[in-house]
Structure 1
């Protein structure tokens, strides 16, 4: 049931974004577009309610409950960024807006971009782990009922730290721009 709720939340999230952007740029109804975009958090509330109910009804915390917590953390923290990404492309394509700015690939701008992404990952991790602890609480602090939540929290912590080590390394040693090789076309 939780997997279906996760899939439904993801479909609902992108459906609300699509409806919001279509209303805004194709139908030329910006207020309706804002309404649909504001509805995107409803998908997160739906998933939170389904997962919370399942755990509070005495169910054993399973891997899918942990995935729901991860999904919610990522959706809440990265959701605005995803909406902005889609909005920039729709604005360029249908409203004559400026082309989307490509992500930086070299130098300090690249390091800043990776740092910002890692801090967002840290925020998603903090929110997701808070939800994992909430699931542990709903399982009456019973390790036998919530062992999966703890294991997924440990794994995500390792992934988040590895991402941090990689992303922050460019702060100390920015990725250099590749040297362009001059080609000589002299005749002999």
Structure 2
């Protein structure tokens, strides 16, 4: 079901963009794009019902919580990215964003890290709530495993984020923007 929801998420986005730009139906396209949170709700309900009926939590159950957190935190930016790419490659209207270097890149990456933190808080809350609700360490071992791994990934991502402030990303000529200094 998680895979089906992931596919449904991207199908709704592609249909929304196609309707918006190719069929020139902006309101219908916006409606389709607005359906993406419903996919998250379906995923949450299906996972909850499965666990409520006594299933032992598995990695896919845990990934449902991760997916919901990521979707809520990054959903708008993922749709915006898809929108820009659709305009560039399908309608040939958009222009690529300029590449970022130096402190501009570091700040952009830091914003992304805070989104990651937000997705982590949502997903971890869902995982912790499920663990508390089931109250059976044997049935929730996979949830704990994913939560621990995600905590490590968040920490590593923070280290990468800090590194871009300490060692700013350089352009192809090996220079950093003058306004960084």
What is the TM-score of this pair, normalised by structure 2? 0.88
Using the TM superposition, name which of 130-139 and 17-26 deviates more: 130-139
Equivalenced residues, count: 174
- Alignment of 1:130 onto 2:97: no
Shift of 1:173: 3.0
For the 8 Å contact 1:52–1:138, the answer to whether it is kept is: no
Other-structure match for 2:168: 174
CA distance in 1, matches of 2:132, 2:50: 13
After superposition, give the CA deviation of every residue in 1:62-82 in whole Å (9 maximum; x if it has no partner): 221111111111112111111
For the 8 Å contact 1:114–1:168, the answer to whether it is kept is: no
Q: Which has the larger radius of gyration?
A: 1
For the 8 Å contact 1:61–1:135, the answer to whether it is kept is: no
CA distance in 1, matches of 2:55, 2:89: 48
What is the TM-score of this pair, normalised by structure 1? 0.85
After superposition, give the CA deviation of every residue in 1:8-42 in whole Å (9 maximum; x if it has no partner): 11111011111111111011110100110000111
- State which of 99, 108, 117 in structure 1 corresponds to 2:112: 117
- State which of 25, 29, 34 in structure 2 corresponds to 1:38: 34
Other-structure match for 1:186: none
Cα distance, 1:25–1:51 mapped onto 2, change above 3 Å = same
CA distance in 2, matches of 1:83, 1:19: 12
The runs of 5 or more residues in structure 2 that have no matched partner are 175-181
The runs of 5 or more residues in structure 1 that have no matched partner are 181-188
Shift of 1:125: 1.0
After superposition, give the CA deviation of every residue in 1:149-184 in whole Å (9 maximum; x if it has no partner): 11110111011101101112212332234546xxxx
- State which of 45, 48, 58 in structure 2 corresponds to 1:62: 58
For the aligned residues, what is the CA RMSD?
1.7
Q: Secondary structure at the match of 1:32?
A: helix
Shift of 1:93: 4.6
CA distance in 1, matches of 2:49, 2:99: 40
